Structure formats: structure tokens, C-alpha cells
Amino acid sequence: MPLTADRAAGVTLEDVRAAARVLEGVVVRTPLVEVPALTARAGVPVFLKCEQLQPVGAFKIRGAYNAVSRVARAAGTRGVVTQSSGNHGQAVAFAARAFGLRAVVVMPESTPGIKVDGVRRHGGEVVFAGAVRSSEQLQRAEAIAFDQGLAMIPPFDHPDVVAGQGTCGLEIVEQCPGVDTILVPVSGGGLLAGISVAVEGLRPAVRVVAVEPAGAAKLTAALDAGAPRTLERTESMADGLLTRSIGTFTFPIIRRMVREAIQVTEDEIAAAVRFLHRSAGLRVEPSGAVTTAAILAGHARLAGPTVAVVSGGNVDPDLFHRLAG
């Protein structure tokens, strides 16, 4: 689904509000949950935006459903295809089934079984290609789209996806009008860009801070260079944050609001998964725990009420047992 000239310019607050109307009755208006032990550690009120409570267990349903809804309105639509390490693929499969469309998801061979099973449970067809987050997934998805006449649903680098993810930002501002800082996990930047659009339009003084694994610091590289840079490799237990480059569409949006990207180590991520389980009874995947990790490790400079986005909870059971046990 290529960008038209009018849509390539960016995403507006009205685009996000339009996405919210599309998503009404589909996504969960996830709660803000204060964990007293985390607030005590931070020295300011901290609220978790619990996106693991979405129908597919992650925020990805917001952008995927919004994008698939637009495709579904086009005449002659046969179905959709995407590349994903897990949560986006599950969301695309969920949305496609809702609109009666076929969904093909190209996944890395190393994708955790819980995420592969999730795609299939929602009616998606899984095709494996290449190592984790390599160009092979995109190439295979593009080939399938061309050969089978399917519409591409990118995981992050598209205005409909960004607008959908931005609805998370709308909710945060409505639920916590006095928010000072929002911590957001970042991979390709769809969620971060969407939240940035919403915050820029409604509360431009709010500080938006990205958090990424030290082994996948693609936004740090982009902010340093002033443009997206492709890392030679990425490695982390946070398998949803392993994209090797920030998006070329998302980065110009992000840089308007985001001035810093916090890096967290593997030990800090593991400690955050364990903390969330023991202190709040939450089952969170490593990718969703990075914002909590930044707070627990003292990397986030917080001056007022803070919202930490918990992006998902689809974690391999064995890994979760090792981390939380």
C-alpha cells in the first residue's frame, strides 16, 4: 500500500482522532495503573499504561486495525500481508479476520512460539523467512504481495499505522491531564511517532522519552546522526524491539518531540519483568518492560507525574518463568 503524495507528508492530530473513531469498540481503553513500589522508587507518581490488556496482548492492534480497515474499504481487496516478529502479525491477523480478509504474516525463523501460535489462532497464515529482523522478511512479504495481489501492512512505517498507535497517546493525555513525562518503548518507531503526534497536538510541553535495549539502540544512532542509521546487528531478549533501523517515515515525526533515547541493559530488563510480576502481578514481555527498567535503574530523570507504556505481554512461558521465578 504505497503512500500517496498527500499522505506522505505526515500524520496529524485529526488523523489520530479519526483512527480513534475507527477503533471504538475494538481496542481496549487500557487503564493507567499506579504501582506504589514504582512510585516510591521514582519519587514521583508513576502510572503504567497497560497495553498488554489489548485483544492481541499488545498495542499493535491499534495501528494494524486502522490500516487494515482502510484496505478493506478498497474495491477488489484479496487480503493483506505483513512482516513481523510477532505482535504486529497477530494484530494484522486479528484485524483481517474481522473484515473477512486473508492474512499472511512473514516471520523470522526464531520467532517465539507463543507469537507464532497467536498469529495462527487469529486466522493468519505464517511464512518463515530468515534470521531475526533481517531484510529477508520484507523481501518475502513484498514478493507475496506482488504474486498474490495482497496489500502490504507495514509494521510501523506508514501513516495509518502511526495514526492508530497515536490513539494510545490520546488516552494517556485524557487519563492523566497533568502528565509531565511519557516513557515509550521504541523499535521501528510507530508507537513513539503516534504518541508524539497526539502529545504535540494536545500537550506540547509534555516530555516524551524513548526507551530501547542497549543491544538495539537504533534510535540513539538516528538521533546522533540526524537521520535513520541501520545497525549491523541487534540483540536482546526484548524480541519486539530488534528492528535494525528507525523508520524513514516515523523518524521525522519523532524528532519533533523526542530529544532523548534511554538505553537499558539485559539485566535491567530482566529485573523489570520480575519486578512487575512480583510487585504488581503483571505478566509483561521484555519489550513491554523496558520503560519500567529505565525507571528502576535510575536512567529516567523524572520531575512530575509519569506514564510508562507497557507495550505488550506476549512472553514465552519458559522465558517468563526464568525471569520472574
Active-site pick, 84, 187, 236, 311 = 311
Please name which of 280, 278, 283 lies closest in space to residue 314, comparing C-alpha atoms.
283
**49, 60, 115, 218: the active-site residue:** 60
60 is known as an active-site residue: yes
Q: Give the bridge partners for 35, in sequence order.
A: none
CB-based contact 70:91 (threshold 8 Å): no
The CA radius of gyration of the chain, in Å to the nearest whole number, is 18
How many angstroms separate the CA atoms of 13 and 261, rounded? 23
Active site residue 49: no
Residue with the three cell numbers 490500516: 67
Closest CA to 150 of 127, 116, 120: 127
What DSSP character marks residue 188?
S
- CA neighbor of 186 nearest in space, from 258, 90, 91: 258
Overall residue count recorded for the chain in this entry: 325
Q: Helix, strand or coil for residue 22?
A: helix
| Among 271, 298, 318, CA closest to 112 | 318
User: What is the rounded CA–CA span in Å between residue 228 and residue 245?
Assistant: 6
Tell me how many degrees the CA angle 241-245-247 measures, rounded to the nearest 5. 95
Q: Residue 68 in contact with residue 100, Cβ under 8 Å?
A: no
Catalytic residues: 60, 311
